[in-house]
Amino acid sequence: MKGKYFALLLAVTVVLGGCSLKKDSPAPEELPESSSEVSQEEPDFLELTEEDFTRVDLNLNISDDPPPVEIHSADLGKLDFGSRLSPCKAPEYRDETIKQLMEPTLEHMADDAEQGYPTMSAEDIEQWRNDLLKTCDTPWPAQQSFGGTVGGGKAFFIKNYDNLCSCHDTVLFSVDLETAEMKEVFAHEDPVEPCLFGTPYYLDGKLLYVNCEYSEEKDEWGNRLAVGHLMAIDAETGEQSEICSGDFEWIYGVDEDKLILSKNYYHGDSTDYRLMECNIETGQLNELWYGTFANQEGGIDVMFDYVDGELYRFEMDYENNTTTVICDDYKVTVNKASNLYFRGANKDRVMFVVDEYSTYMTSDKKLYTYDLKTRECLVSSFNGFGNTVMMAGDALVTLGSSSPTYKMPFYYIMPQIGTAFRGADLCGNSSFNTSGDTVFIMDEPTNYTYHEDGTIDVDLGDTTVYWFEK
């Protein structure tokens, strides 16, 4: 089915002012000028606090105009990735597989029984075993992708067919964005050795991911020792090669020919954070940052962002309700730490989304945009834009909670001009990520019908891919 493309051309009217959330609101007034004088000559390293910013309330005007980026799309139609019987279900492996699945629970139940707690009956245990055996005779259909990316004119989908152990039958598919032609690029089919690709990164015709090899040996804090393997799969031939291995567990970001790899070390009352830079061509690893923070209540949580070749560190101090953002150019401390569900930064801005009134039934989300040039803090209501947020250049991209029956658009939000550009409606099972400078959204509507005999009918809707440059 031939893909179609559309480009949303640049048509942005700069809106500076407190705008109504309604699209047909009158033209807003101009923002008041900041009362703080900003020196023309900035110091080499900025140190700012909440008090250095002037608050400006600025609601986000929802616009159906195209955003200032060219958004492409490809309608790939109904993609059928089929069903498979994972190798761990084969007769010569299934008994051992089921034993390993049941043993931890049975051991826990034995401990409960010794303390007088109720446990499963022998009949229930036997029924559980029979249900697992029945699963071994049932091919499992491809479900929602648990990883994917876009690059080289193709979309890549990772599908897992192992509904018994979840890690013995993983397949990477490519789908041409123009023709919707599907191809199996690489498959991990092993009845014993596990493998989960995670989210791959596309770079120069290769798909990069980390596969961790865990040993039975544990350190003094109960962590299983692991070695990370940075793998590359040729997007055309499917040939797999190892770039390097070392003390890392996942990819934090990509910058031209370098990857940022990371691992956290938990040891009792503190955690070590390590980020390493890997040259993809040579496989050389260099430590980028290392630090230790306390785990006890009232300690500091740490998160990182890697944007345009620079590392940003977020230190959340819950005891003092502050977050400090640190990079090579600045250190900014703001008065918020709790109920943050998004944090992002680049060379000019620091952004947070905060749920300021979070209860079981209600919430009030606010977007805070700290502009380092104007020394203004733009505060916008963020209700209704969804809980999945990602920074894309100077903008934010958000996904709502869609479903096959309830559609919600994605948004391209520019808080600095007070505008949220409405994107296409998504049907559920949507995900987004970045691959280099490309932001992509995959919308995979899927309906499942479960039958009493254990079989499942999968109705795959039309898959659509959207992508644009940051």
Q: Give all strands (DSSP E) within 295-394, no chain letters.
A: 300-307, 310-317, 322-326, 330-334, 340-345, 349-355, 365-371, 376-381, 388-392
> Which amino acid is located at 302 in the chain?
V
pLDDT, tens digit (0-9, with 9 covering 90-100), for 103-140: 988 988 888 778 877 788 889 999 999 999 999 998 98
Q: What pLDDT was estimated at residue 61? A: 96
Q: What pLDDT was estimated at residue 141? A: 86
Q: Is the pLDDT of residue 373 over 60?
A: yes
> Which amino acid is located at 420 in the chain?
A
pLDDT, tens digit (0-9, with 9 covering 90-100), for 233-259: 999 999 999 999 998 988 888 876 678
Q: What pLDDT was estimated at residue 8? A: 34
Q: How confident is the model at residue 400 (pLDDT cuts 50, 70, 90)?
A: confident
DSSP of 122-152: HHHHHHHHHHHHHHTTS-EE--S-S-EEEET
Q: What pLDDT was estimated at residue 404? A: 61
Q: What pLDDT was estimated at residue 24? A: 39
Strands 46-49 and 330-334: parallel
Q: Nearest Cα to 168, choosing from 114, 238, 74, 94?
A: 94
Who contacts 23 (Cβ-Cβ below 8 Å, separation ≥6)? 61, 62, 63, 64
Q: What pLDDT was estimated at residue 154? A: 95
Burial grade of 351 (CB within 10 A; 0-12, 13-18, 19 or more): buried
The architecture CATH gives domain 46-85+138-469: 7 Propeller (2.130)
Q: How confident is the model at residue 318 (pLDDT cuts 50, 70, 90)?
A: confident
pLDDT, tens digit (0-9, with 9 covering 90-100), for 418-427: 999 999 998 8
168: tokens are: 């013995």
Who contacts 186 (Cβ-Cβ below 8 Å, separation ≥6)? 171, 172, 233, 238, 240
Strands 438-443 and 430-435: antiparallel
Q: Is the pLDDT of residue 4 over 50?
A: no
Q: What pLDDT was estimated at residue 22? A: 35
Q: How confident is the model at residue 406 (pLDDT cuts 50, 70, 90)?
A: confident
Q: Is the pLDDT of residue 201 over 80?
A: yes
For 296-332, b/e burial (b = at least 16 CB within 10 A) is eeebbeeebbbbeeebbbbbbeeeeebbbbbbeebeb
Q: Is the pLDDT of residue 33 over 60?
A: no
Q: How far apart are CA 312 and CA 273, in angstroms?
A: 13
Q: What pLDDT was estimated at residue 40? A: 56
- The average pLDDT across 27-39 equals 44
Q: Is the pLDDT of residue 196 over 80?
A: no
Q: How far apart are CA 38 and CA 36, in angstroms?
A: 6
For 248-261, b/e burial (b = at least 16 CB within 10 A) is bbebbbbbeebbbb
If phi over 0 gives left and psi between -120 and 50 gives alpha, with beta otherwise, what is residue 454?
Answer: left
Q: How confident is the model at residue 21 (pLDDT cuts 50, 70, 90)?
A: very low
Q: Is the pLDDT of residue 91 over 80?
A: yes
Q: What pLDDT was estimated at residue 458? A: 67
- The average pLDDT across 261-265 equals 88
Q: What pLDDT was estimated at residue 193? A: 87
Please provide the average confidence, as pLDDT, over all residues in the chain: 84
Q: Nearest Cα to 260, choosing from 236, 228, 234, 233?
A: 228
Q: Is the pLDDT of residue 35 over 70?
A: no
Report yes or no: 231 and 245 within 8 Å, Cβ to Cβ: no
pTM value > 0.75? yes
Taking the domains of the chain in order of start, what are their residue ranges? 46-85+138-469, 87-135
Who contacts 305 (Cβ-Cβ below 8 Å, separation ≥6)? 253, 311, 312, 314, 343, 344, 345, 391
pLDDT, tens digit (0-9, with 9 covering 90-100), for 324-335: 999 999 999 999
Q: How far apart are CA 60 and CA 47, in angstroms?
A: 29
Q: How far apart are CA 156 and CA 327, in angstroms?
A: 33
